[in-house]
Amino acid sequence: VPERFIVTPAGAPTQPQAVFHGTPYGRRQHWVSEPSLSRRLQYAKGAQPPTKNQQLFDQLQQVAAQYLAEGHAVTDEAIWEYAQSLQQIRLAEFSEWMGQLAQWPAIVNLPSLAKFYGGRVIEAMAAGRPVISWDIPGHPKNRGLFEPDKDILLFHQDSPEALAGQIDRILHDRALAESLAQRARGKIKRYHTAERRLQGTLEWIRTGRTPDYGLSEQANSPSAAQTTVPAPAAQSSPSATGLPTADPISHPSAKVSMDQNAFYVDLFVNKPAWSTPEPNADEAARWSKIASFLEHVVRQTRRETPGRTLRILDVGCGRGWLTNLATIYGTCEGIEPVAGVVEHARRMFPHIRFEAGTPETVLARPDFMPFDIVLCSEVIEHVPHPEKPGFVSQLAQLLTSEGYLILTTPRGDVWEEWRRIAPPNQPVEDWVTEQQLGQLLADGGFHHLGLERIPIEVPSLRYFPAATAHDYRTKTLMPIYQVWACRRTAATGTHPVPFTRRPMVSVIVPTHNRPDRLRMALESLNSQQYQDFEVIVVNDGTTPVESVVAEMNCAGRTTLVNHDRNRGLAGARNTGLRHATGTYVAYLDDDDRFLSDHLGTLVAFLERGTHIEGMAVGAGRGHPRPRGCGSGGQQTPLRRRVDPTCRRCLLT
């Protein structure tokens, strides 16, 4: 299977039964009609009518046959055009096939004349679904490709009841199904990609060296040829001890098996570039963004609780370089699964607490207290995809109810390009795209505060943490790292103020020599239930308002712009527009107030995807009915059109 098709399924299976794809010839006809399998196994026939791509394939052959029948010359150009069309159609067909495999909870390989694993076995494993196959007798090397009960489930070639029992195991034990699929997918990626098979075959032709197919040690033993799988009863359920063990590549930081321990000890203790107390160029680039987010957190904390000392935990800390630097911002300790790496960190930084373990280790402490900040740099890409949601959940449990998470990881968006430039070599490399990670964090109870990217120059591999527009024009830069800042969603549901992301709404507040009324207007903004907005106060008068703005700027979202002379209401609003960065713009005069649900109601309406280009809201006159929506007025679309080239809607 081409490597790009080896994926983790996007969701749970949508079909209730296992499936067999293929022609029911010979003894297969008996299996398809077997009563014990009727409610467990579905026979998927070919598409009727043919799919669009199948029709295109047939049409291409008809066109080629007609071309030849008419006596046209077979030129290089004609062959190239035919080959390109054929490749595009076959690629589209294969993409459809691989996509539909994921809808089934298990793929079955029934007995056949072929004494090897058919394409459906490899393709199903690549699609991330468990495989149940007949145990092919007398072929130990074929059997050695995948380990029974760990990579694949097998059944006796003459026992439909055995197949029924194995299907029941998959359908009734989700953990077993996920473990089988995860391990098999990893083995496909390591040994059975189309690229690796082709490379191994060419090497065999050139040198006579047998390709490495990842065969188990028992594959060549004399007794292996005689080994078969006993037929379990159809209704039997797997015992606790009979469950397959999880892939050794498993949990936070994913560094748990002995081989992996040795890998990380060698990397963080012995490799000169990765074993020093100071960060290397790669780590320094990440630190520049992490430190920037930490500065935001410190400022916000000082506003909310002056004098507080932040407690920080570095998860998957490695040799501790980040843990050490983070002590600038509070007390910081590190947790790392590999004991040998922890010993090295303790030698370099004896003043810092390091512990060998995982997030569970910290959560299990008798004196555990939640942390204000969790740092997690270059860890989540080494956590297998099925375990990522649980890992993010643990990061949330480590934090206070409004704690911060700062996380860095390579961008899965550039995986295909990067693996051709500098193939990643750690035991698990399950990268995530920005969209996938954003969803993981949101599902884990985090609110997005900021996202930064770190580009690297190709082919020099120099990092540009603060790349300019000129750099992007004149250099080949690839945004390799994503750096996220998030905050746990408070129990109140109030969303925190973003750090770097553009706010949804820019509220422009013109004021003219009325500081007391300005204070009431800003108080109404501070009481908004919806929190994703910035405030731009434009002072168009001669009376200073700095003290009022500073007093009301509780969340650090307010910008003050002072005019050098009176420019009028329109001029003040235009100044505010020039400073606005939000998706939508709202105006609030200094003698008006918003009800607490004002911004939330308007944004919710606009985000429904309607074609409204602007909105007007009625005003209430006098106390206690301030301007706003809900009880204070009615929400109606503007009757006149706004310039469609304007990039923001106006909320008034």
> What does the pLDDT read at residue 407?
98
> What does the pLDDT read at residue 643?
43
pLDDT digits (tens, 9 = 90+) for 368-383: 999 999 999 999 999 9
**CA distance to 4, 299, 302, 375, 390, per residue, from 306 (Å):** 51, 9, 4, 22, 34
> What does the pLDDT read at residue 619?
59
State the pLDDT confidence band at 384, using cuts at 50, 70 and 90: very high
Cis peptide before 624 (omega within 30 of 0): yes
Highest mean pLDDT among 92-96, 130-134, 469-473, 615-619: 130-134
Q: How far apart are CA 249 and CA 258, in angstroms?
A: 10
> What does the pLDDT read at residue 500?
65
Average pLDDT over residues 249-270: 63
Taking the CA of residue 541 as centre, how many other CA atoms within 13 Å lie in the half-sphere pointing to its CB? 14
Q: How far apart are CA 337 and CA 318, in angstroms?
A: 9
pLDDT digits (tens, 9 = 90+) for 25-70: 766 777 878 888 988 998 887 666 788 888 899 999 999 999 999 9
> What does the pLDDT read at residue 183?
92
Average pLDDT over residues 354-374: 95
> What does the pLDDT read at residue 174?
87
**All residues at 6 or more sequence positions from 146 whose CB lies less than 8 Å from its CB, including other chains:** 117, 125, 131, 152, 184, 187
pLDDT digits (tens, 9 = 90+) for 84-110: 999 989 988 888 888 889 899 999 999
State the pLDDT confidence band at 237, using cuts at 50, 70 and 90: very low
% of the chain beyond a pLDDT of 70:
84
> What does the pLDDT read at residue 28?
72
Identify whether the C-beta of residue 126 lies closer than 8 Å to the C-beta of residue 184.
Answer: no
- Nearest one of 313, 477, 478 to 407, comparing CA atoms: 313
3 state SS of 216: coil
pLDDT digits (tens, 9 = 90+) for 396-412: 999 999 999 999 999 99
**CA distance to 50, 84, 537, 545, per residue, from 559 (Å):** 61, 57, 6, 12
> What does the pLDDT read at residue 561?
94
Average pLDDT over residues 178-195: 90
**CA distance to 492, 510, 590, per residue, from 517 (Å):** 29, 11, 6
> What does the pLDDT read at residue 617?
65
Look at residue 348 and tell me whether its pLDDT is greater than 80.
yes
Average pLDDT over residues 441-454: 91
Look at residue 363 and tell me whether its pLDDT is greater than 90.
yes
Look at residue 649 and tell me whether its pLDDT is greater than 70.
no
Look at residue 628 and tell me whether its pLDDT is greater than 90.
no
pLDDT digits (tens, 9 = 90+) for 104-124: 999 999 988 888 888 889 999
Helix axes 434-443, 388-397, angle to 10 degrees: 50
State the pLDDT confidence band at 646, using cuts at 50, 70 and 90: very low
Radius of gyration of the chain (CA): 31
CATH topology of domain 261-488: Rossmann fold (3.40.50)
Q: Do domains 3-48+104-242 and 505-651 have the same CATH topology?
A: no
Between 555 and 358, name the one with better pLDDT: 358
State the pLDDT confidence band at 527, using cuts at 50, 70 and 90: confident
> What does the pLDDT read at residue 292?
92
> What does the pLDDT read at residue 602?
87
Look at residue 219 and tell me whether its pLDDT is greater than 60.
no
Average pLDDT over residues 625-638: 40
Sheet holding 371-377, edge to edge: 354-356, 330-336, 310-315, 371-377, 399-410, 477-488, 446-457
- 3.90.550.10, 3.20.20.70, 3.30.9.10, 3.40.50.300: CATH of 505-651: 3.90.550.10
pLDDT digits (tens, 9 = 90+) for 271-290: 888 999 999 999 999 999 99
State the pLDDT confidence band at 268, using cuts at 50, 70 and 90: very high
> What does the pLDDT read at residue 470?
86
- Nearest one of 207, 209, 213, 210 to 193, comparing CA atoms: 213
Average pLDDT over residues 435-457: 92
State the pLDDT confidence band at 629, using cuts at 50, 70 and 90: very low
Q: What average pLDDT does the chain have?
A: 83
The string over 608-617, giving b where at least 16 C-beta atoms fall within 10 Å of a residue's C-beta and e elsewhere, is eeeeebbbbb
State the pLDDT confidence band at 496, using cuts at 50, 70 and 90: low
Tokens of residue 614, six digits = 């602007």
CATH topology of domain 3-48+104-242: Rossmann fold (3.40.50)
Average pLDDT over residues 556-560: 86
Domain definitions of the chain by residue range: 3-48+104-242, 261-488, 505-651
State the pLDDT confidence band at 222, using cuts at 50, 70 and 90: very low
> What does the pLDDT read at residue 498?
67
Between 631 and 519, name the one with better pLDDT: 519
The string over 261-282, giving b where at least 16 C-beta atoms fall within 10 Å of a residue's C-beta and e elsewhere, is bebbbebbbeeeebbeeebeeb
Tokens of residue 408, six digits = 């860095």
% of the chain beyond a pLDDT of 90:
48
